[in-house]
């Protein structure tokens, strides 16, 4: 979250103190229930305190009551308040927690059917009164084939008191089920092992930020600061620091000098496809903190730099009264951020000066507007999310009666939950129109044929075998690739396309572990299909 306009905190404090919470009677919920007992301890920013936590979830479509057994999790967690400026501004706190054994050791567990891990977040939607902006964006981004934090809506009870609607979500972390890049140990200081994996964060140093280095190139008031996120600053070796710093400096040098299409160009250092998708998501949401805060880069072993995963979208889709965040037109990568210390990295403007990058961006945008980001699908995701919390949002706003009250940095203030959602949907419609006008691409020839033909993958999720249906005019030999969400090539099989159909067998020695993958079909040095597939257990 960025710095605020003058006096907003005083306004916020007076607004908050001017009302009292409304008592509500809780019987049961369609959402899972998270119950935390601190045993008299105070949850602080740091360090984590060990408390008792339980989760009640009786399964999809079933009600959950406080009298039910804690059947999804019952044990210890280490918990702390999380966030940068948000933890001081908003009375509804977000938390980070680690699942722990009785003797205090971290243990990996599956919560609400999410993949096992020990690092989790309880995000508290507050300034976003729709309570869906983050989850909506992660859902849309995941449909593009990327790992984005998986989320579950819950209702939280803290020390016996109802605390509202929360989002249980995955934390960005190197893991085979999250950012799927190679593990880097302190012994990996040479050769191929030294090349990955790394996660680098662009953000404030408060709220969990750490050691890093500054860009060689200045922006208006300073230099982009890169933080070691994985390995952590206390674990990364001097040689590893030097490697990732040098790699990103070479990337910056190529972009600053506008080396686009010759040996030594930026293409040797970054995967432009991942930067394009990152840009599309941040511009769709018109994220006032996009690019400059809560932004990540990651690099796998022997791979180029990727942009992502995406993170922190509560001040999006018009929900900001500064930096023109309320306007559905204009580009955020070009935003005039004035004297704010946290500026956008210079290289976004440089990328947009490369005609090949812009053409690829426009092609990608035009393609996904017909599919993953169509008007119909975005509307469906919004309606699905608001339907999930339609019952619980009433209790949330009894606990936190802020509907009709300006909470920084709201631009629009609706008097009801329905009006907040309707305003956001209307803003998104206008935003899509603007981007369609700015990023048009006219598919011609075989491209147009490919776009217009229906494509299907079935079954998906699958067990061992998949059938892919492309345009019926595609025939001949090609390859099928299975790639992790971190960009690692896991399988590459020769295939024969007959009347647009491809049969794939992932049994025996070609089997895959259960999880989420990206399937690519290639023919004659051309990608025919890139789609997300799910392997069942």
Write out pLDDT tens, residues 405-414: 999 999 999 9
Average pLDDT, the chain: 89
Sheet strands side by side (includes 526-535): 489-497, 476-483, 515-523, 526-535
What does the pLDDT read at residue 1? 45
Same domain, 354 and 429: no
Distant-in-sequence, close-in-space partners of 420: CB < 8 Å, separation ≥ 6: 129, 130, 403, 412, 414
Q: Is residue 441 part of a domain?
A: no
* Chain position carrying tokens 């929360």: 166
Q: How confident is the model at residue 158 (pLDDT cuts 50, 70, 90)?
A: very high
Same domain, 346 and 395: no
Q: Domain end: 322, 348, 369, which one?
A: 369
What does the pLDDT read at residue 13? 39
What does the pLDDT read at residue 207? 55
Same domain, 119 and 268: no
Give the count of alpha carbons within 13 A of 16, CB side only. 17
Same domain, 80 and 113: yes
Backbone Cα Rg of the chain: 24
Angle between helices 375-388 and 133-143 (to 10 degrees): 130
In the chain, how long is the greatest CA-to-CA distance?
71
Contact 179, 484 (CB under 8 A): no
Distant-in-sequence, close-in-space partners of 256: CB < 8 Å, separation ≥ 6: 217, 346, 347, 350
Higher pLDDT: 314 or 16? It is 314
Same domain, 492 and 425: no
What are the structure tokens assigned to 474, written together?
């595609």
The yes-or-no verdict on residue 447 having pLDDT over 70 is no
Write out pLDDT tens, residues 61-87: 899 999 999 999 999 999 999 976 666
The yes-or-no verdict on residue 292 having pLDDT over 70 is yes
DSSP 428-481: HHHHHHHHHHHS-----HHHHHHHHS--EEESSSBSSEEEEE--TT--EEEEEE
What does the pLDDT read at residue 131? 98
* Range with lowest mean pLDDT among 209-218, 456-465, 494-503: 456-465
Q: Domain end: 369, 390, 422, which one?
A: 369
Mean pLDDT of 141-165: 94
> Whole-angstrom Cα distance, residue 347 to residue 481?
31
Q: Is residue 456 part of a domain?
A: yes
Q: Is residue 199 part of a domain?
A: yes
Q: How confident is the model at residue 19 (pLDDT cuts 50, 70, 90)?
A: very low
The yes-or-no verdict on residue 17 having pLDDT over 70 is no
Q: How confident is the model at residue 116 (pLDDT cuts 50, 70, 90)?
A: very high
> Whole-angstrom Cα distance, residue 535 to residue 537?
7
> Whole-angstrom Cα distance, residue 517 to residue 486?
9
Q: How confident is the model at residue 35 (pLDDT cuts 50, 70, 90)?
A: very high
The yes-or-no verdict on residue 469 having pLDDT over 90 is no
Mean pLDDT of 163-173: 97
Number of domains in the chain: 3
Same domain, 34 and 91: yes
Same domain, 430 and 362: no
Q: Is residue 185 part of a domain?
A: no
CA 442 to chain centroid: 30
> Whole-angstrom Cα distance, residue 467 to residue 504?
6
Same domain, 240 and 333: yes
Q: Is residue 186 part of a domain?
A: no
What does the pLDDT read at residue 334? 95
Three-state SS at 483: strand
Contact 328, 283 (CB under 8 A): no
What does the pLDDT read at residue 249? 97
Distant-in-sequence, close-in-space partners of 129: CB < 8 Å, separation ≥ 6: 402, 403, 407, 410, 414, 417, 420
Q: Is residue 302 part of a domain?
A: yes
What does the pLDDT read at residue 444? 67
The yes-or-no verdict on residue 52 having pLDDT over 90 is yes
What does the pLDDT read at residue 6? 36
Same domain, 409 and 524: no
Same domain, 39 and 169: yes
What does the pLDDT read at residue 355? 95
Q: Is residue 445 part of a domain?
A: no
Considering only CA atoms, which of 282, 281, 283, 259 is closest in space to residue 270?
A: 259
Same domain, 109 and 226: no
> Whole-angstrom Cα distance, residue 296 to residue 304?
14
What does the pLDDT read at residue 459? 78
Reported as type and span, the H/E element at residue 515 is strand 515-523
For the chain, how are helix, strand and coil distributed in percent, rounded to 5?
25, 25, 45
What are the structure tokens assigned to 256, written together?
């600053």
Same domain, 93 and 231: no
Distant-in-sequence, close-in-space partners of 235: CB < 8 Å, separation ≥ 6: 186
Q: Which domain holds residue 224?
A: 191-369
Higher pLDDT: 212 or 501? It is 212
Mean pLDDT of 502-515: 87
Question: CA of 77: how far to CAs of 48, 417, 457, in Å?
Answer: 9, 33, 41
Identify the CATH number of the domain in which residue 473 sits. Answer: 2.60.40.1930
pTM equals 0.82
What does the pLDDT read at residue 396? 98
Considering only CA atoms, which of 367, 285, 294 is closest in space to residue 326?
A: 285
Q: Domain end: 436, 463, 478, which one?
A: 436
The yes-or-no verdict on residue 483 having pLDDT over 80 is yes
What does the pLDDT read at residue 452? 39
Beta bridge partners of 65: 28
Write out pLDDT tens, residues 311-348: 999 999 999 999 999 999 999 999 999 888 899 999 99
Mean pLDDT of 132-147: 93
> Whole-angstrom Cα distance, residue 445 to residue 442?
10
Contact 97, 13 (CB under 8 A): no
Q: How confident is the model at residue 473 (pLDDT cuts 50, 70, 90)?
A: low
Q: Is residue 182 part of a domain?
A: no
Mean pLDDT of 161-188: 96
């Amino acid at each position: 979250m960025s710095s605020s306009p003058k006096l907003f905190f005083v306004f916020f404090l007076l607004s908050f103190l001017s009302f009292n919470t409304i008592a509500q009677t809780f019987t049961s919920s369609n959402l899972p229930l998270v119950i935390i007992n601190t045993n008299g301890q105070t949850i602080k920013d740091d360090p984590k305190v060990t408390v008792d936590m339980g989760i009640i979830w009786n399964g999809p479509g079933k009600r959950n009551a406080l009298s039910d057994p804690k059947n999804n999790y019952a044990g210890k967690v280490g918990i702390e308040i999380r966030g940068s400026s948000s933890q001081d501004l908003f009375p509804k706190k977000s938390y980070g927690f680690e699942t722990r054994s009785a003797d205090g050791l971290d243990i990996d567990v599956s919560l609400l059917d999410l993949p096992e891990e020990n690092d989790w977040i309880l995000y508290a939607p507050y300034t976003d009164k729709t309570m869906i902006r983050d989850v909506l964006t992660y859902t849309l981004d995941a449909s593009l084939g990327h790992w984005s934090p998986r989320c579950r809506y819950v209702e939280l009870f803290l020390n016996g008191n109802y605390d509202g609607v929360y989002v249980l979500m995955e934390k960005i972390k190197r893991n085979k089920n999250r950012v799927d890049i190679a593990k880097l140990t302190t012994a990996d200081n040479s050769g191929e092992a030294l090349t990955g994996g790394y996660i680098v964060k662009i953000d404030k140093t408060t709220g969990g930020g750490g050691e890093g280095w500054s860009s060689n190139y200045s922006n208006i008031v300073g230099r982009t600061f890169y933080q070691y996120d994985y390995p952590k600053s206390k674990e990364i070796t001097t040689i590893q620091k030097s490697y990732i710093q040098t790699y990103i400096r070479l990337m910056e040098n190529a972009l600053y000098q506008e080396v686009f299409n010759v040996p030594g160009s930026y293409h040797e250092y970054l995967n432009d496809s991942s930067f394009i998708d990152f840009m599309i998501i941040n511009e769709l949401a018109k994220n006032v903190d996009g690019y400059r805060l809560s932004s990540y880069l990651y690099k796998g072993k022997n791979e180029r730099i990727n942009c992502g995963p995406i993170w922190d979208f509560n001040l999006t889709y018009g929900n900001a009264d500064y930096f023109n965040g309320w306007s559905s037109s204009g580009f955020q990568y070009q935003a005039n951020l004035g004297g704010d210390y946290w500026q956008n990295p210079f290289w976004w403007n440089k990328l947009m000066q490369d005609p090949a990058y812009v053409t690829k961006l426009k092609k990608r945008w035009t393609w996904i507007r017909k599919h993953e980001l169509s008007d119909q699908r975005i509307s469906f995701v919004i309606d699905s999310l608001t339907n999930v919390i339609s019952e619980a949002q009433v209790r949330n706003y009894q606990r936190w009666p802020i509907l009709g009250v300006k909470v920084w940095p709201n631009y629009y203030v609706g008097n009801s939950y329905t009006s907040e959602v309707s305003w956001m949907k209307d803003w998104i419609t206008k935003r899509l129109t603007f981007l369609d006008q700015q990023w048009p691409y006219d598919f011609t020839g075989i491209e147009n044929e490919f776009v217009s033909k229906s494509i299907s993958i079935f079954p998906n999720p699958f067990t061992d075998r998949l059938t892919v249906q492309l345009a019926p005019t595609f025939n001949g030999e090609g390859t099928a690739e299975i790639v992790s969400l971190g960009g690692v090539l896991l399988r590459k099989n020769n295939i024969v396309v007959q009347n647009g159909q491809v049969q794939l067998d992932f049994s025996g020695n070609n089997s895959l572990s259960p999880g989420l993958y990206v399937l690519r079909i290639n023919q004659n040095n051309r990608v025919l299909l890139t789609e997300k597939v799910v392997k069942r257990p």
